[in-house]
A and B are shown apart, each in its own frame.
Chain A
């Protein structure tokens, strides 16, 4: 419970203190949102360049190709292609999804939903954003170095990422950028964990927290524990590149003594596997809440959902080896990792069944946030199921590094997180900006995105199953893959459709922010704490710290009198009177 009450700070007056170097968690959240959306655009553009090359090899990219690659008349050159898929992965994971889900909605939702006036360490919060900004500049600067940006894949395995594989300064800048971003995210994580432990409103136990907060909290815990692991790996890689240490150099690559390239893979995946849960947990939490809010029913087994997410968090730290089945791991180890990985499907099924239980017989309102949440249920179900083929050693040995893997991880951590992020944006937009987003455009956005997205990722799984490898500039030089050109064209067309659908979102977002209809205090009829205060939220959030008396999902209680079908968390739970 709240250990103490934060004071109401004076309202910031100057432009700088209000919009730029703000201590206010809501402003920092919005800054992260803009940051994430900008990078989503850049990463999406890169994806389209990649897709174009795969569907129409050797043909110039339309319109902007001439400007980007004048030397080749608009065709994406092979070395640039390697850089594109490296930076597409890096940008989407670390600079788009992390800032939007964790940076923006973590910052915005945590204090509002637990009834606090701000984060516990507002200065650390501001520092976290500006370090992320520095990191973005480092990464973008790497594009303008003589040999271009990093091109060793987003996992940057040595020896591709050592001086032998990528001699330019781009890879070094990439390491530094990610290190700085890691420091920034760790700062954010320390802040989130401490805030949730110490600043919950009086009466709010851990199981009275909305599941969104559960997701964000578990994410923050994983971040605080596992980002430093990546940090250590990146430091050693940087030392290898800059000072000539030999941690990851072996054989002919090392001048003397010998390091071990596989060590980096271990370090990377010890971080990397929790990282996929870092990305997906906030989306799970948000979707668990939204399904209940829009089905007008209490979340089915909310406690079990929270505990299932917790056990997944714990299990996620023990399964990293399934990324490395092909590194001559002992069969004893691969089978243990397979076993542990399969175990994750148990808690996953628990909360998945809870999601279905929540919407079962609910009076569902198909508003835009709900559509996106249902989209998450669909794509995450698909992504989760295809994960089983990759967890099993015997099938993974065949599927390793094919487009099946690409399709799988895009379904789980790109598609479902993206849709979760959109659901959250549509849902909290009124509280952020005090205006409503347009429902019709939102629904069009959803359906086109959903069609395009499934075309892209389903198609990827199909070509992957047929044996198409990832990260190849022109796979069709191999005879057995030439028959896949039409389906690759289909994937690219779907990708362009999906990209075009985002224009609806950008238009809706910007137009609604300026001209949208004014939002009421509680447009969705939901009882969590952020809806008890005016829209947009005032800079102090709560004039009086609320006292929590019931859970976050008290909807559709048959004992409720009056015209409301939901209860605020500040109200005593309605019991049967008779």
Chain B
């Protein structure tokens, strides 16, 4: 009798925690979305008022590296969804973390290749946008990777309602960053 009572209150507690943490995470994501939306608004303003784009004397950077990083972050999100379906199997999580690191390496290569082409941060508005936006995004990716590693350590100790909750919320953040990168990829590099 007592054990069932305890179980019931526990699960109600978990339910409450679940709702609270997802409300919190959604509000936080709205905040992050506004940060990136502001950047995008600034970009749109420059882009729509510029007579030619990219600005005179500049060519668009090659699509190769950004496409690769888009592929990486897309695959990482797919792996994460697989992991969320069956949390006992943490290979999906490991794949997400590895792909996340590869994404960061490709971004670093991108900055390096821009530099070797003579495109510096201070070379004008378009390079400013490329560098600043990818920096801000990368800073969030680093934070998300730290969250993923923390989640990995927790999952190793066993899957509980708490870790499921953590996985759900970390996942929301990770997918969000994937979407943000996709928007940046399309608006900055493709069109």
Contacts and interface: CB of A to CB of B under 8 A. Distances in A.
Contacts of A256: 122-124
A263 B126 CA distance: 15
A257 B31 contact: no
B68 interface: no
A358 to B, nearest CB: 32
A121 B31 contact: no
A236 B42 contact: yes
Contacts of B41: 266-267
A199 B16 CA distance: 9
Contacts, number: 118
B128 A247 contact: yes
Interface string A224-243: 11111101110110010001
Given A4-B12, A245-B131, A245-B132, A190 B125 contact: no
A231 B46 CA distance: 19
Given A259-B46, A260-B46, A263-B45, A245 B32 contact: no
A270 B23 CA distance: 25
A3 B19 contact: yes
Interface string A61-96: 000000000000000000000000000000000000
Interface residues of A, number: 42
Interface in A163-211: 186, 189-191, 193-194, 197-199
Interface residues of B, number: 38
A247 B125 contact: yes
Contacts of A186: 28, 31
A405 interface: no
Contacts of A197: 23
A260 B136 CA distance: 20
B113 interface: no
Nearest to B16: A4
Nearest to B139: A235
A236 B31 CA distance: 17
A245 B123 CA distance: 8
Contacts of A316: none
A267 B44 CA distance: 13
A316 to B, nearest CB: 15
Contact of A258 (B28, B31, B125): B125
A255 interface: yes
A229 B27 contact: no
A227 B35 CA distance: 8
B24 A120 contact: yes
When A and B form their complex, which 3 residue pairs have the shortest distance between CB atoms, in order from nearest? A257-B124, A4-B16, A244-B122
Interface of A: 2-5, 120-121, 186, 189-191, 193-194, 197-199, 224-229, 231-233, 235-236, 239, 243-247, 255-260, 263, 266-267, 270
Interface of B: 12-13, 15-17, 19-20, 23-24, 27-28, 30-32, 34-36, 38-39, 41-42, 45-46, 49, 55, 120-128, 131-132, 135-136
Given A4-B15, A260-B45, A263-B45, 14 more contacts: A3-B20, A227-B31, A232-B38, A235-B136, A239-B128, A243-B121, A244-B121, A245-B121, A247-B125, A257-B124, A257-B126, A266-B41, A267-B38, A270-B38
